[in-house]
Structure 1
Amino acid sequence: MSKGFWTHLDRVPDGPALLIPSRPHITYGELAERVAATARAMGAGKKLVAIEAALSEHSIAAYLAALAGGHAAALLPPDDDAAWLSFVERFEPELAFRKENGRWRLNETGYRPQSRIHHDLALILMTSGSTGCGKAVRLSAGAVAANASSIAQYLELDAADVGALTLPLHYSYGLSILNSHLSVGAALWVPGTSILDPAFVEEFKAAQCTNLSGVPHSYELMEQRGFRQQRYPDLRFMTVAGGRLPPSDVRLYHDWLVPEGRRFYVMYGQTEATARIAYVPPRRLPDHADGIGLAVPGGELRLVDESGTTVREHNVPGELVYRGPNVMLGYGETRHDLARGADIDELRTGDIGVRDADGLYRITGRLRRMSKIGGIRLGHDALEAALSERGITTAVVGDDELVLAAFTGAHTEAEVRGQLALAAGIGLPHARAVALEELPRLANGKLDYEQLRARMTERPSDSEKPTVATLFKEVFFPQQVLPDDCFADLGGDSLRYLEMTVGLERLLGAAPEGWEKMSVGALSARSQTALAARVISSDILLRAIAILLVVFHHATTWPIPGGAGTMFVLCGFGLARFQSKALFDGDFRRFFRQLRLVLLPYYLVVLGFSIGWGAVPWASVFLVGNLGFAAPERHEMLPYLYWFVEAFVQLLLLWALLFAPPAIRRFASVDPFRFGFILLVAATALHFASPILWPIGARQIFTLPWVLHLAVFGWCAAFASSPRRRLAVILASGVTMPLMAYTGGNWVGSWFLYGVQLPVLALLVYLPKLKVPALLAAMVIPVAAASYHIYLLHRIFPDLLLDASRPETFVSPWIIAVSVGSGLGTGLLAYRLQRLLTRGDGRFARRWQRLGLLWQGQTRRSRSGAGLAPTKRQSGALP
């Protein structure tokens, strides 16, 4: 085990280690005790420990404990379930440290990998990769300790320093701040606010911080807040890394700090070198504001040409190569890679640079056609491939401020720009698109990228449309909506999701990936270039198809059940996407919040039938009409088609019961897909056992045990985050659905019902987004948005207008047309009325809001009324 700084944290036990607002500071002695206790809890034997790397004392202690215990720590971004699940599946960590139910917990994951972890491996960091795909960087304990010591040396850190820890810990730059300060016994201020917070500056000064580090964007934010207009008596130096700060800004901060005897450090690094590779000595800065300087202490820089020969001349470009004790062991793609030792002894950075006569280095370009914006590496070739998968032929160029995609074809510049920003994971201000008749090529047929670079100086045209804020205010009326709020912060749930999606589709042409975690301000910025193409989520299309199946099935004698089955699959899919965090946290109050929006209109329907019948259908009032003991003919329950609401509420109750034990929550949160697959086996067994255990005849098809497996399939589809898991869902459905159809009567309706679910699941797992013609989208989106209203009301008008005792063998075309048309029209009209009411901010709208009748995005949980297919013998038993 390397004798790194983590092994002697208690050398100055009374010295402050972590300064956290609104609580006593944590001393090095206290931190050492917590680290030792956590290390003991991790046990003996080298393990991989996945850590949710929040800016928290708990994450810091867990990270240090993993190092102290000789384990390998993997630092993962906080509140990013997709990144967590992807890592867990690829690398199978034995231990997981993350926040559950509001508390930090160390849990075993249940993985028992066969491959061992190399004795040198101490840390795994994920690189920021193009199109969201990063590599695992394997780092040794020696590399971590060496880089921390090197940074502390050239920054001249000592125990009297107090560093501001504002950058993420899973980001190598942020982690290097922590490591370098701990290595000399310095303190770290861990603020509860961002740089944009008005209280940040005062808290920064109150903590007596001696240094502040940031990426170029951090300095943009500080300029917006007037950071340099304040006085900081304790400040000694500032640093910048993670991208290129314009030389004018470098000189600006250097000139501001130097007169007060302070320093400004420009640094360069990569995750593959445990953070820092080079720095510009402050005394050399005025003349080298555009450079990266010298190698850090203990390291060595050189340039090589295309043949690998060292470039010794001044101002001759070559690839920058770094050698030092902080170079990584290598990359990793799977658990098996963690058993390897060092694959390299020097780092080819991929950056082109020159060395001047003073021996200082300057970056002039990128060898592998890359940009680095906001700390995110963007491979131009990877972006071209990502856009090609979207059907867009492009040539991509860029620098560290802007990425440009030149394209051909029928796409619009706004569409390609938006797709480029989404693929790269950058903001629209950093993305540019230009339409060309043909892409420029050299005489040898290769793309002429240099010609495209000439267009880099052109700025994109933005037409500001701040209607995203209006959409948020409508959907969350009467809540106050601020620019920094996001869908999740405002208490968004599955019932509001579709309405927001529909609105964003209308404004942007496609709802950005992960929009529910983006702030109103960020989404408003994206709305400045609305996408022309219609890209919709596959579950929206499926919802529209499902409600149409419901309406046609109830208006005809056609054997086309399946709408309700699809809706139940979407129930499980929605629970996974929007309620899983509440379930994992045990926040059942939040989980059941959606019931208010489900039940209020349902009980209005109950009230209407009660008035019409002159009797109260008590079984429906208590949501047990689907259990088989009541009958609508005796006015004891609503008509059979309303069974779906009852089954859905029962599903929520069952789900809450399943997640009540903390052990289940912990197990499910670590790998929700595995949990879902286990539950799928149980739900399938329950489907076949329920007629034996609960023999209620034909009405069995309306009970939760009969349809539970469909919801579980939806849950699994939502968490099928890898090709292997997506294939598992398809294979499981390919076995289960035909078996259900055969044992469910083996007739055409049964085969239709379960056969429909196969393409439904395939769409959910393989095509989450679909590009459709604008005309089709214009028809699909309103029907999907109004699907809940259609479900509730689609039989009201036909049953009043037409003879309810329609013949079972033949229904005339005009009756079908009237039934379908009036059913869809009534639901669409009700939805339109709701939209008009939600747009109002006067007394009428507020009264309706108090009654709970403003259906904010109800259609995300829209419920089909179609009966699941009865068996051939049962088909005439139910209306």
Structure 2
Amino acid sequence: MTLLPSPPARGSVLPLARTLALHGDRTALVTADGEISYRDLAERVDRTALRLGTGRRLVLLPGANDVEALVVHLAALSAGHPVLLVPGDHPEAAAALTAAYDPDVVVHPGPGQWRIEERRAGSAHTLHPDLALLLSTSGSTGSPKLVRLSYENLQANAESIAEYLGIRASDRAATTLPMHYCYGLSVLHSHLLRGAGLVLAGLSVSDACFWDLFRAARGTALAGVPYTFDLLDRVGFADMDLPHLRYVTQAGGRLAPERVVRYAELGQRQGWDLFVMYGQTEATARMAYLPPELAAARPEAIGVPVPGGSFALEPVPDEGTAAGVGELVYSGPNVMLGYARTPDDLALGRTVDVLRTGDLARRTDEGLYEIVGRRSRFLKILGLRIDPRQVETMLERYGVRALCAGDDDRIVVAAVRRPGWDVRRIRRRVTEECGLPVRAVDVRLVDELPRLANGKPDYPAVRGLARPAAKAGAGGTDSDGADSGGADSGGADSGGADSGGASAADLCALYARILDRTDVTPDNSFVGLGGDSLSYVEMSLQLEERLGHLPPNWHLTPIRELKRRRGPGRAMETSVALRAVAIVCVVGTHIRLFEIRGGAHLLLAVAGFNFARFLLTSAERRERLRRTGRGIARIALPCMAWTGFALLVDDDYDLTNLLLVHNLINPQDMGPGIHLWFVEALVYILLTMLLLLAVPAVDRAERRFPFALPVALVALGLLTRYELVGLPDRSQITDAVTVFWLFALGWAAARTRTVPQRLLVTLAALATIPGFFPGELRRELFVMAGFALLTWLPTLPSTRRANQLAGLLAGSSLAIYLTHWQIYPIFDDVSEPLALVASLVFGVVYASGVTRLTRAVRRVTRAEPVPATASRT
């Protein structure tokens, strides 16, 4: 039975939310779990609207790029209930606005269907018939000052955007911006209006999974604020194969003209348009856009008014502006009703007719508008509108006297020194209040606040206190010596548990220390910062200590999204467990304490698994190659260093071992020289992958067919596994060739996304491993069991102590493998168990020494001062 739309509450409704069913069976939403048609979406909306009832009530909704959040939002607007949209990731803001506005209905996120809490049957408020939506305009997302938007505002804004973008029913736009942000919401509304599809995901563009979903959905549209374009640069967007992309939109702050030109020209080469846009929440989102054909020629302009809108320039003689420059004033059907500061304001109708933007602008001879300055002191940083006066007031509540100024890149806080309030504590308070990353807040401690001769605040002097941009980008230090990028704010050493802090600043400090980076921000992920399998283990252990659990796919998750909570119990990454078990089995078997063979071959499969996870990211091709080369160096150089030492103390090795060519030159040698076959094989395989990925066509193929390519390489590797097509016997060629299929199988396992794919790689392993070790059934079963665990179980139940021990062994597995050949003979005649323990401990110590040396060399080559935490690591 088809549900009929619920009768609207008294007052207006939003047409685009009420007419979803008219688009029939077209795809409305594409998610990681599948597609939802407009017909299905309309039925869900209607059911939820019936649940909300017909009497108008104020509905508080945490915004999220989630099906349930979108359904509740559309249901309320289709039935005439005003929506108070709050950040879904900011519970403090939701609590503050609940207390300030006493909503009648509060929606609570949860797994599956969201819970709707009806706080009363009717409404405690007088709600104006035109009131549709309440949005925050301030970076302080818990501020009671809200923008009041009408149904006409929302519909007109969506129609205007759909018109100038030329949105088609066949388009599919990705939700790259939060739903509670007016820009992100306008993407939803404008595409739903035209019956287009939405690729609904809460993922960052720095996440490889986002691009997997975008390509699979045949995405045509991307939207971003300036920081989004920073992330696009990092992930190699320019080299991505996105055949269906039609247009990219930018708003939320000024994008540097040279970057506008670069992206406009990139779009011209690749067949998509760049729309640079200008807007404010008070205009429901958009006021101007720059036609794509003018972007490269006039990158400094905001363009022309959106359809239905118009601009005027009002003189501001007291500002000392140049001729032709005035305050930009916008008129149009998308101008807000006005502001709300208390619940009583919800009864108000229209209190403003035009929008005075506070921006100073001029009109060119071609009819384009350009912003030349700002009249008000509002800042717009990373798409957030920040009121410096509000930040000053907030700090004053804590007894900190401060003045705040800044630009579109950061806010500068000059604060009078006060016991108990250092730079880090003040910065953390501002970042939490404003929702800004650490790098966007520059705190300077002063003895007295800068004043003009007349006693008024000297804000230009405050801006002058800011550290130079170049220094900031390189991790400069604030006046008290604390690292300005948060790299020293954690204060925990690498071997101990944190005291419980898990703020974004603390986690940034942790990432900065373990990855030896000075440019860590809350929007970075482990993989995005160049993390690899060698640093993965230490990071996973440290995160579990701080967060109380290890989130799924934490290595792809931005730092700001990692939340502290207690999970159901400790867990261990399966790849970490296998590395630890495998290396113990390798050493124990060589000592003859026990016999469990196959550890080295299992490690090859794990190496392929980690190669796909950490090196085959969404970064551009050059960055992939750089990381792969660095990974090879981190394997080869410690091996060559230890081999050089071994040459001095015994005669097991020769020059071919030092140069890692012994197995290549003497594949039939079964003497001591064969000890390093595993390292040589891994280096050769990675070098081959480096050369393959250097070919643009192969790089594109891997991005487009992330699972099919390694499966094809498995098939290729099986030619040598089974000595087909006239190849020589396995004993006559280097092991790298004969074991490559295991590496490729691990790679394919990491790329599985569905049960059929997991079944395919598991069956391939079960079919091809038997017979590889003739007469060694236990060895084959060991490798097969490990591979099955790697493919099907991301984590295993564990304890804290087991995690710490496995982490030490897994993170040092390469060093243990290298050194145990020289260590265990020293103790073998005394005690075989002692020989095993000594080999493991020495390998851990050697790995730690290599890590310390590597970090020290990096600092010297970067000519950086040693950070304060270095003495404690």
Instruction: Name the TM-score, length of structure 1 as normaliser.
Output: 0.53
Query: Per the alignment, do residues 465 and 193 of structure 1 end up closer, same or farther by CA in structure 2, a change over 3 Å counting?
Result: closer
- For 2:257, which of 232, 238, 247 is the aligned residue? 247
1:386 corresponds in structure 2 to 394
Structure 1: distance between partners of 2:61 and 2:435: 23
1:649 corresponds in structure 2 to none
1:51 corresponds in structure 2 to 61
Query: Per the alignment, do residues 50 and 385 of structure 1 end up closer, same or farther by CA in structure 2, a change over 3 Å counting?
Result: closer
Q: Which secondary structure state, in structure 1, belongs to the residue aligned with residue 362 of structure 2?
A: strand
Query: Per the alignment, do residues 423 and 47 of structure 1 end up closer, same or farther by CA in structure 2, a change over 3 Å counting?
Result: closer
Structure 1: distance between partners of 2:25 and 2:179: 25
Structure 2: distance between partners of 1:466 and 1:441: 32
Structure 2: distance between partners of 1:441 and 1:434: 16
Q: Which secondary structure state, in structure 1, belongs to the residue aligned with residue 500 of structure 2?
A: helix
- For 2:334, which of 311, 326, 346 is the aligned residue? 326
- For 1:178, which of 169, 172, 188 is the aligned residue? 188
Which residues of 2 match residues 574-723 of structure 1 at below 5 A?
A: none
2:734 corresponds in structure 1 to none
Question: Is 1:404–1:432's contact at 8 Å kept on the other side of the alignment?
Answer: yes
2:28 corresponds in structure 1 to 17
Query: Per the alignment, do residues 423 and 526 of structure 1 end up closer, same or farther by CA in structure 2, a change over 3 Å counting?
Result: farther
- For 1:72, which of 82, 86, 105 is the aligned residue? 82
Question: Is 1:147–1:326's contact at 8 Å kept on the other side of the alignment?
Answer: yes
Q: How far does residue 11 in structure 1 lie from its aligned partner after superposition?
A: 1.8
- For 2:237, which of 219, 227, 233 is the aligned residue? 227
Question: Is 1:395–1:447's contact at 8 Å kept on the other side of the alignment?
Answer: yes
Q: Percent identity?
A: 37
1:283 maps onto 2:293 in alignment: yes
Q: How far does residue 390 in structure 1 lie from its aligned partner after superposition?
A: 3.8
Q: How far does residue 152 in structure 1 lie from its aligned partner after superposition?
A: 0.4
2:643 corresponds in structure 1 to none
1:195 maps onto 2:205 in alignment: yes
Q: How far does residue 457 in structure 1 lie from its aligned partner after superposition?
A: 6.2
2:91 corresponds in structure 1 to 81
Instruction: Name the count of aligned residue pairs.
Output: 515
Structure 1: distance between partners of 2:148 and 2:507: 30
Query: Per the alignment, do residues 590 and 262 of structure 1 end up closer, same or farther by CA in structure 2, a change over 3 Å counting?
Result: closer
Structure 1: distance between partners of 2:270 and 2:374: 37
Structure 1: distance between partners of 2:214 and 2:69: 22
Query: Per the alignment, do residues 282 and 47 of structure 1 end up closer, same or farther by CA in structure 2, a change over 3 Å counting?
Result: same
Structure 1: distance between partners of 2:142 and 2:95: 14
Paired amino acid for 1:299? G
Which residues of 2 match residues 378-527 of structure 1 at below 5 A?
A: 378-409=386-417, 417=427, 420-435=430-445, 438-456=448-466, 458=468, 459-460=471-472, 461-462=476-477, 463=483, 471=492, 499-501=499-501, 521=511
1:655 corresponds in structure 2 to none
Query: Per the alignment, do residues 523 and 403 of structure 1 end up closer, same or farther by CA in structure 2, a change over 3 Å counting?
Result: farther
Paired amino acid for 1:11? L
Q: How far does residue 438 in structure 1 lie from its aligned partner after superposition?
A: 4.7
Question: Is 2:406–2:412's contact at 8 Å kept on the other side of the alignment?
Answer: yes
Structure 1: distance between partners of 2:348 and 2:402: 38
Structure 1: distance between partners of 2:443 and 2:490: 26
1:6 maps onto 2:17 in alignment: yes
Q: How far does residue 408 in structure 1 lie from its aligned partner after superposition?
A: 4.6
Q: How far does residue 302 in structure 1 lie from its aligned partner after superposition?
A: 1.7
Q: How far does residue 196 in structure 1 lie from its aligned partner after superposition?
A: 1.4
Q: Which secondary structure state, in structure 1, belongs to the residue aligned with residue 114 of structure 2?
A: strand
Question: Is 1:263–1:282's contact at 8 Å kept on the other side of the alignment?
Answer: yes
Q: Which secondary structure state, in structure 2, belongs to the residue aligned with residue 276 of structure 1?
A: coil
Q: How far does residue 46 in structure 1 lie from its aligned partner after superposition?
A: 1.3
Query: Per the alignment, do residues 345 and 474 of structure 1 end up closer, same or farther by CA in structure 2, a change over 3 Å counting?
Result: farther
Question: Is 1:468–1:524's contact at 8 Å kept on the other side of the alignment?
Answer: no
Structure 2: distance between partners of 1:17 and 1:529: 39
Paired amino acid for 2:130? D
- For 2:274, which of 247, 260, 264 is the aligned residue? 264
Q: How far does residue 181 in structure 1 lie from its aligned partner after superposition?
A: 0.4
Cα displacement string for residues 725-776 of structure 1 (whole angstroms, at most 9, x for unaligned residues) = xxxxxxxxxxxxxxxxxxxxxxxxxxxxxxxxxxxxxxxxxxxxxxxxxxxx
Structure 2: distance between partners of 1:100 and 1:409: 43
Cα displacement string for residues 506-543 of structure 1 (whole angstroms, at most 9, x for unaligned residues) = xxxxxx6x87998954999999899xxxxxxxxxxxxx
Question: Is 1:152–1:180's contact at 8 Å kept on the other side of the alignment?
Answer: yes
Cα displacement string for residues 556-608 of structure 1 (whole angstroms, at most 9, x for unaligned residues) = xxxxxxxxxxxxxxxxxxxxx999xxxxxxxxx968879xxxxxxxxxxxxxx
Which residues of 2 match residues 196-211 of structure 1 at below 5 A?
A: 196-211=206-221
Structure 2: distance between partners of 1:525 and 1:362: 42
Q: Which secondary structure state, in structure 2, belongs to the residue aligned with residue 322 of structure 1?
A: strand
Paired amino acid for 1:351? D
Q: Which secondary structure state, in structure 2, belongs to the residue aligned with residue 275 of structure 1?
A: coil
Question: Is 1:315–1:355's contact at 8 Å kept on the other side of the alignment?
Answer: no
Q: How far does residue 238 in structure 1 lie from its aligned partner after superposition?
A: 0.3
Query: Per the alignment, do residues 526 and 297 of structure 1 end up closer, same or farther by CA in structure 2, a change over 3 Å counting?
Result: farther
Structure 1: distance between partners of 2:514 and 2:349: 47
- Identify which range, 147-156 or 437-446, moves more after superposition: 437-446
Query: Per the alignment, do residues 252 and 117 of structure 1 end up closer, same or farther by CA in structure 2, a change over 3 Å counting?
Result: same
Structure 2: distance between partners of 1:104 and 1:415: 36
2:576 corresponds in structure 1 to none
User: What is the RMSD computed on CA atoms of the aligned residues?
Assistant: 3.9
Structure 1: distance between partners of 2:74 and 2:445: 51
Structure 1: distance between partners of 2:52 and 2:437: 40
1:711 corresponds in structure 2 to none
2:226 corresponds in structure 1 to 216
Query: Per the alignment, do residues 472 and 63 of structure 1 end up closer, same or farther by CA in structure 2, a change over 3 Å counting?
Result: farther
Q: Which secondary structure state, in structure 2, belongs to the residue aligned with residue 429 of structure 1?
A: helix
- For 1:368, which of 376, 391, 400 is the aligned residue? 376
Q: How far does residue 113 in structure 1 lie from its aligned partner after superposition?
A: 3.9
Query: Per the alignment, do residues 134 and 278 of structure 1 end up closer, same or farther by CA in structure 2, a change over 3 Å counting?
Result: farther
Structure 2: distance between partners of 1:195 and 1:523: 25
Question: Is 1:370–1:398's contact at 8 Å kept on the other side of the alignment?
Answer: no
Q: How far does residue 132 in structure 1 lie from its aligned partner after superposition?
A: 5.1
Question: Is 2:327–2:375's contact at 8 Å kept on the other side of the alignment?
Answer: yes
Question: Is 2:512–2:519's contact at 8 Å kept on the other side of the alignment?
Answer: no
Instruction: Name the TM-score, length of structure 2 as normaliser.
Output: 0.53
Structure 2: distance between partners of 1:63 and 1:841: 45
- For 2:358, which of 345, 350, 357 is the aligned residue? 350
Q: How far does residue 231 in structure 1 lie from its aligned partner after superposition?
A: 2.2
1:135 maps onto 2:139 in alignment: no
Q: How far does residue 15 in structure 1 lie from its aligned partner after superposition?
A: 1.1
Q: How far does residue 360 in structure 1 lie from its aligned partner after superposition?
A: 2.0
Q: How far does residue 147 in structure 1 lie from its aligned partner after superposition?
A: 0.1
Question: Is 2:82–2:132's contact at 8 Å kept on the other side of the alignment?
Answer: yes
- Identify which range, 368-377 or 96-105, moves more after superposition: 96-105
Query: Per the alignment, do residues 259 and 274 of structure 1 end up closer, same or farther by CA in structure 2, a change over 3 Å counting?
Result: same
Structure 1 spans left out of the alignment, 5+ residues: 477-495, 505-511, 531-576, 580-588, 595-833, 844-879
Query: Per the alignment, do residues 428 and 315 of structure 1 end up closer, same or farther by CA in structure 2, a change over 3 Å counting?
Result: farther
Q: How far does residue 42 in structure 1 lie from its aligned partner after superposition?
A: 1.4
Paired amino acid for 1:107? E
Paired amino acid for 2:396? S
Query: Per the alignment, do residues 330 and 417 of structure 1 end up closer, same or farther by CA in structure 2, a change over 3 Å counting?
Result: same
